[in-house]
Amino acid sequence: MRNDTFSMALLFDAYGELLTERQKDLFDQYYNQDLSLAEIAENAGVSRQSVHETLHRTETILRNFEEKTGCVARDAACREARQELFSIAERVKALPGGASLAEELLAAAERIKE
C-alpha cells in the first residue's frame, strides 16, 4: 500500500477536504504519522481489517477525484511550464537586446503561482 506514498500525499493535499473526518484521520495516521495498521486500529478501537479497508477505499476515492478533475496533474504541468519560462527567460536575457523581453517572460512566470 505504501508504494505510492508521494502520489497519495499530493492527492490528499488536493482533495482531502472532500473526505470524511474518519477517512482524513486514518489517512493522516498511516501516511503522515507513519503508524502501522495495527497501531491505527488500536487507536481507533477497530479491527486492523477495518483500517485497511477504509484506507483502500480512501485511496480509491482520491484517485477517482483526480481522474475526474485532473487538478494535481494540471498543477504539475503548470509548475513545469513555469520552470521552462524561467529557463527560457535566462537564455533570452543573454541575447543582445533581450533583457526587456526576458523581464516580460519572468513577470509572466511569476504570475503562475505555485
pTM of the shown model: 0.79
**What pLDDT is recorded for position 114?**
55
Mean pLDDT of 6-27: 96
The domain at 2-69 falls in which architecture? Answer: Orthogonal Bundle (1.10)
pLDDT tens digits for 31-85?
Answer: 999 999 999 999 999 999 999 999 999 999 999 999 999 999 999 999 999 999 9
1, pLDDT greater than 70: no
Distance, in Å, from the CA atom of 103 to the CA atom of 113, rounded to the nearest integer, reads 17
**What pLDDT is recorded for position 60?**
97
Give the residue extent of every domain in the chain: 2-69, 73-111
- Helix pair angle (48-69, 71-93), 10° resolution: 50
